[in-house]
Protein backbone atom coordinates (compact mmCIF):
# COMPACT_ATOMS: atom_id res chain seq x y z
CA UNK A 1 0.00 0.00 0.00
CA UNK A 2 1.06 3.55 -0.62
CA UNK A 3 2.20 5.47 2.45
CA UNK A 4 4.14 8.51 3.57
CA UNK A 5 5.87 9.17 6.84
CA UNK A 6 6.62 12.49 8.47
CA UNK A 7 9.09 11.60 11.19
CA UNK A 8 8.92 14.91 13.06
CA UNK A 9 5.84 16.01 14.97
CA UNK A 10 7.24 19.51 15.23
CA UNK A 11 10.04 21.54 13.71
CA UNK A 12 11.29 24.74 15.30
CA UNK A 13 13.36 27.25 13.37
CA UNK A 14 14.40 30.85 13.81
CA UNK A 15 13.12 33.45 11.39
CA UNK A 16 15.54 33.95 8.53
CA UNK A 17 17.07 30.50 8.87
CA UNK A 18 16.52 27.72 6.33
CA UNK A 19 13.83 25.20 7.12
CA UNK A 20 13.32 21.55 6.23
CA UNK A 21 10.22 19.46 6.85
CA UNK A 22 10.88 15.80 6.19
CA UNK A 23 8.81 13.26 4.30
CA UNK A 24 9.59 9.73 3.19
CA UNK A 25 7.40 7.57 1.04
CA UNK A 26 6.67 3.95 0.23
CA UNK A 27 4.88 3.24 -3.04
CA UNK A 28 4.36 0.66 -5.71
CA UNK A 29 5.41 2.22 -8.98
CA UNK A 30 6.20 5.86 -9.64
CA UNK A 31 5.15 8.22 -6.86
CA UNK A 32 2.96 11.28 -7.21
CA UNK A 33 3.89 13.38 -4.18
CA UNK A 34 2.30 16.51 -2.73
CA UNK A 35 2.83 19.05 0.03
CA UNK A 36 -0.03 20.95 1.61
CA UNK A 37 -0.10 23.55 4.39
CA UNK A 38 -2.90 24.09 6.89
CA UNK A 39 -3.38 27.21 8.97
CA UNK A 40 -5.52 27.02 12.14
CA UNK A 41 -9.19 26.32 11.48
CA UNK A 42 -8.67 26.34 7.74
CA UNK A 43 -8.58 23.81 4.94
CA UNK A 44 -5.42 22.67 3.22
CA UNK A 45 -3.58 24.84 0.74
CA UNK A 46 -1.65 23.22 -2.08
CA UNK A 47 2.06 24.08 -2.05
CA UNK A 48 3.69 21.89 -4.67
CA UNK A 49 3.79 18.48 -6.27
CA UNK A 50 6.12 16.04 -7.96
CA UNK A 51 4.79 13.89 -10.74
CA UNK A 52 7.65 13.64 -13.18
CA UNK A 53 10.55 15.67 -14.46
CA UNK A 54 13.04 17.75 -12.51
CA UNK A 55 13.72 16.40 -9.03
CA UNK A 56 13.69 19.92 -7.56
CA UNK A 57 10.16 21.23 -7.50
CA UNK A 58 9.36 24.87 -6.77
CA UNK A 59 6.04 25.84 -5.29
CA UNK A 60 4.08 28.59 -3.63
CA UNK A 61 5.38 31.09 -1.05
CA UNK A 62 9.04 30.33 -1.80
CA UNK A 63 8.84 26.65 -0.85
CA UNK A 64 10.57 23.90 -2.77
CA UNK A 65 10.96 20.17 -2.41
CA UNK A 66 13.50 17.69 -3.66
CA UNK A 67 12.44 14.29 -4.90
CA UNK A 68 15.10 11.72 -4.01
CA UNK A 69 14.35 8.30 -5.41
CA UNK A 70 17.27 6.48 -3.81
CA UNK A 71 16.32 7.74 -0.35
CA UNK A 72 12.56 7.63 -1.06
CA UNK A 73 12.25 11.14 0.31
CA UNK A 74 10.46 14.33 -0.63
CA UNK A 75 11.58 16.92 1.92
CA UNK A 76 10.04 20.37 1.92
CA UNK A 77 12.48 23.27 2.13
CA UNK A 78 12.65 27.03 2.23
CA UNK A 79 15.87 29.07 2.24
CA UNK A 80 14.67 31.70 4.71
CA UNK A 81 11.79 31.04 7.11
CA UNK A 82 9.14 33.61 7.97
CA UNK A 83 7.06 33.77 11.13
CA UNK A 84 4.02 33.54 8.87
CA UNK A 85 5.20 30.11 7.69
CA UNK A 86 4.20 28.71 11.09
CA UNK A 87 1.50 26.14 10.34
CA UNK A 88 0.77 22.43 9.99
CA UNK A 89 2.35 20.78 6.95
CA UNK A 90 1.17 17.59 5.31
CA UNK A 91 2.97 15.35 2.87
CA UNK A 92 0.76 13.13 0.70
CA UNK A 93 1.09 10.48 -1.99
CA UNK A 94 -1.41 9.54 -4.63
CA UNK A 95 -2.94 6.13 -4.14
CA UNK A 96 -3.23 4.44 -7.49
CA UNK A 97 -4.85 1.41 -6.01
CA UNK A 98 -8.55 0.91 -5.50
CA UNK A 99 -11.54 1.89 -7.54
CA UNK A 100 -10.55 5.52 -8.01
CA UNK A 101 -6.90 6.16 -8.63
CA UNK A 102 -6.76 9.73 -7.40
CA UNK A 103 -7.12 9.33 -3.65
CA UNK A 104 -4.43 10.83 -1.45
CA UNK A 105 -2.72 9.15 1.47
CA UNK A 106 -1.55 11.72 4.01
CA UNK A 107 1.24 11.75 6.51
CA UNK A 108 0.54 12.57 10.14
CA UNK A 109 1.55 16.18 9.69
CA UNK A 110 4.40 18.30 11.02
CA UNK A 111 3.89 21.49 12.99
CA UNK A 112 6.34 24.17 11.91
CA UNK A 113 7.06 26.94 14.40
CA UNK A 114 9.12 29.88 13.25
CA UNK A 115 10.25 32.19 16.03
CA UNK A 116 11.30 35.79 15.55
CA UNK B 1 -7.48 29.43 -10.00
CA UNK B 2 -8.62 26.11 -8.48
CA UNK B 3 -10.74 27.56 -5.71
CA UNK B 4 -13.00 25.39 -3.60
CA UNK B 5 -15.60 26.79 -1.23
CA UNK B 6 -17.53 25.22 1.61
CA UNK B 7 -20.70 26.37 3.28
CA UNK B 8 -21.31 26.84 6.10
CA UNK B 9 -17.98 27.47 7.76
CA UNK B 10 -19.49 26.97 11.21
CA UNK B 11 -22.60 25.15 12.31
CA UNK B 12 -24.02 24.40 15.73
CA UNK B 13 -26.97 22.07 15.95
CA UNK B 14 -28.96 20.07 18.44
CA UNK B 15 -28.51 16.35 18.79
CA UNK B 16 -30.84 14.43 16.48
CA UNK B 17 -31.02 17.04 13.75
CA UNK B 18 -29.48 16.80 10.28
CA UNK B 19 -26.88 19.15 8.87
CA UNK B 20 -25.98 19.70 5.22
CA UNK B 21 -22.55 20.91 4.13
CA UNK B 22 -21.94 22.13 0.59
CA UNK B 23 -18.69 21.90 -1.33
CA UNK B 24 -18.28 23.85 -4.56
CA UNK B 25 -15.48 24.08 -7.09
CA UNK B 26 -15.72 27.71 -8.16
CA UNK B 27 -13.55 27.89 -11.26
CA UNK B 28 -13.23 24.34 -12.49
CA UNK B 29 -15.29 21.23 -12.98
CA UNK B 30 -14.62 18.28 -10.73
CA UNK B 31 -15.87 14.84 -11.60
CA UNK B 32 -14.49 13.64 -8.28
CA UNK B 33 -14.75 15.26 -4.88
CA UNK B 34 -13.61 13.93 -1.53
CA UNK B 35 -14.89 14.34 1.99
CA UNK B 36 -12.54 14.24 4.96
CA UNK B 37 -12.87 14.48 8.69
CA UNK B 38 -10.14 15.93 10.85
CA UNK B 39 -9.79 15.62 14.61
CA UNK B 40 -7.79 18.18 16.60
CA UNK B 41 -4.07 18.06 15.85
CA UNK B 42 -4.58 15.00 13.68
CA UNK B 43 -4.26 14.16 10.04
CA UNK B 44 -7.16 13.94 7.65
CA UNK B 45 -9.35 10.86 7.57
CA UNK B 46 -10.93 10.17 4.20
CA UNK B 47 -14.62 9.47 4.61
CA UNK B 48 -15.78 9.01 1.06
CA UNK B 49 -15.11 9.62 -2.60
CA UNK B 50 -17.89 11.36 -4.47
CA UNK B 51 -18.24 10.99 -8.22
CA UNK B 52 -20.61 13.11 -10.26
CA UNK B 53 -23.71 11.21 -11.24
CA UNK B 54 -22.96 8.06 -9.31
CA UNK B 55 -23.04 6.75 -5.77
CA UNK B 56 -20.32 7.73 -3.39
CA UNK B 57 -17.69 5.25 -2.33
CA UNK B 58 -17.31 5.13 1.43
CA UNK B 59 -14.20 4.18 3.35
CA UNK B 60 -14.29 1.27 5.71
CA UNK B 61 -15.99 2.12 8.98
CA UNK B 62 -17.90 5.14 7.64
CA UNK B 63 -21.67 4.74 7.87
CA UNK B 64 -23.19 5.58 4.51
CA UNK B 65 -26.67 6.03 5.98
CA UNK B 66 -25.36 8.54 8.48
CA UNK B 67 -23.15 10.53 6.13
CA UNK B 68 -25.16 11.03 2.96
CA UNK B 69 -23.21 12.30 -0.01
CA UNK B 70 -24.67 13.72 -3.20
CA UNK B 71 -22.67 14.89 -6.21
CA UNK B 72 -25.37 16.16 -8.51
CA UNK B 73 -23.25 18.42 -10.69
CA UNK B 74 -19.65 18.88 -11.75
CA UNK B 75 -19.21 21.76 -9.31
CA UNK B 76 -21.23 20.74 -6.26
CA UNK B 77 -21.09 17.94 -3.73
CA UNK B 78 -23.02 17.85 -0.47
CA UNK B 79 -22.49 15.98 2.77
CA UNK B 80 -25.47 15.52 5.05
CA UNK B 81 -24.86 14.38 8.58
CA UNK B 82 -28.12 12.73 9.55
CA UNK B 83 -29.37 12.51 13.12
CA UNK B 84 -26.22 14.16 14.36
CA UNK B 85 -24.84 13.32 17.78
CA UNK B 86 -22.11 14.96 19.86
CA UNK B 87 -19.56 12.42 18.66
CA UNK B 88 -20.09 13.72 15.12
CA UNK B 89 -18.66 17.07 16.19
CA UNK B 90 -15.58 17.60 14.07
CA UNK B 91 -13.92 19.59 11.31
CA UNK B 92 -15.14 18.43 7.91
CA UNK B 93 -13.09 19.27 4.83
CA UNK B 94 -13.90 18.64 1.19
CA UNK B 95 -11.61 18.60 -1.80
CA UNK B 96 -12.17 18.70 -5.54
CA UNK B 97 -9.97 16.89 -8.01
CA UNK B 98 -8.66 18.92 -10.92
CA UNK B 99 -7.90 16.30 -13.54
CA UNK B 100 -5.71 18.48 -15.75
CA UNK B 101 -3.31 19.11 -12.91
CA UNK B 102 -3.85 15.78 -11.21
CA UNK B 103 -4.23 17.67 -7.93
CA UNK B 104 -6.80 17.87 -5.15
CA UNK B 105 -7.77 21.36 -4.04
CA UNK B 106 -9.31 21.76 -0.63
CA UNK B 107 -12.14 23.80 0.76
CA UNK B 108 -11.71 25.91 3.91
CA UNK B 109 -13.51 23.38 6.09
CA UNK B 110 -16.70 23.31 8.15
CA UNK B 111 -16.65 23.16 11.92
CA UNK B 112 -19.62 21.16 13.23
CA UNK B 113 -20.62 21.25 16.87
CA UNK B 114 -23.47 19.03 17.98
CA UNK B 115 -24.95 19.88 21.36
pLDDT digits (tens, 9 = 90+) for A78-99: 999 999 999 999 999 998 755 5
Distance CA A94, CA A54 (A): 18
| pLDDT of A101 | 60
- Residue A73 to residue A109: CA distance in whole angstroms: 15
Which positions ≥6 away from A19 have C-beta within 8 Å?
A11, A13, A77, A78, A81, A85, A112, A114
Mean pLDDT of chain A: 93
Strands A87-95 and A103-106: antiparallel
* Bridge partners, B48 (sequence order): B35, B58
Task: Tell me what the mean pLDDT of segment B57-77 comes to.
Answer: 93
Mean pLDDT, rounded, for A47-75: 95
Residue in A36, A102, A108 nearest the CB of B32 = A102
Confidence band of A107 (pLDDT split at 50, 70, 90): very high
Distance, in Å, from the CA atom of B84 to the CA atom of B88, rounded to the nearest integer, reads 6
Phi, psi of A62 (to 5 degrees): 85, 5
Nearest chain A residue to B93 by CA distance is A43
- Looking at residue B53, its pLDDT comes to 83
Which residues of B fall within a CB distance of 8 Å from A51? 102
**Selection from B61, B68, B66 nearest residue B85 by Cα:** B66
Contact B6 A107 (CB under 8 A): no
Contact check, Cβ <8 Å, B104/A102: yes
Of B84, B37, B13, B101, nearest to A51 (Cα)? B101
Nearest to B43 among A41, A99, A109 (CB): A109
How far does Cα B30 stand from its chain's mean position?
Answer: 14
| Omega cis (within 30) before B8 | yes
Cα–Cα distance measured from residue A104 to residue A84, given in angstroms and rounded to the nearest whole number: 26
Give A42's pLDDT tier (boundaries 50, 70, 90): confident
The tally of CA atoms less than 13 A away on the side-chain side of residue B105 is 21
In the three-class reduction of DSSP (H, G, I as helix; E, B as strand; rest coil), residue B87 is classed as: helix
Question: Which residues of chain B have a CB within 8 Å of the CB of A108?
Answer: 42-43
Q: Report the mean per-residue pLDDT for chain B.
A: 93
Percent of chain B with pLDDT over 70: 100
Q: How far is A23 from chain B (nearest CA, A)?
A: 14
What's the half-sphere exposure (Cβ side, CA atoms, 13 Å) at B57?
12
**Nearest C-alpha in B relative to A51:** B102
Q: Which residues of B sit within 8 Å Cβ distance of A?
A: 2, 4, 6, 32, 34, 42-44, 46, 49, 51, 57, 91, 93, 95, 97, 102-109, 111
Amino acid sequence: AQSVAQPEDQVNVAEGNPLTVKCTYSVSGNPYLFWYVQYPNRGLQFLLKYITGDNLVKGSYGFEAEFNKSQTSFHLKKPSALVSDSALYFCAVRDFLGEYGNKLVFGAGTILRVKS
Amino acid sequence: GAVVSQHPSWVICKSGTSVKIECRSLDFQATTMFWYRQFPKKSLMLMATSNEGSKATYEQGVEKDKFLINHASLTLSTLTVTSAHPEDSSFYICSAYLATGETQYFGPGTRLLVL
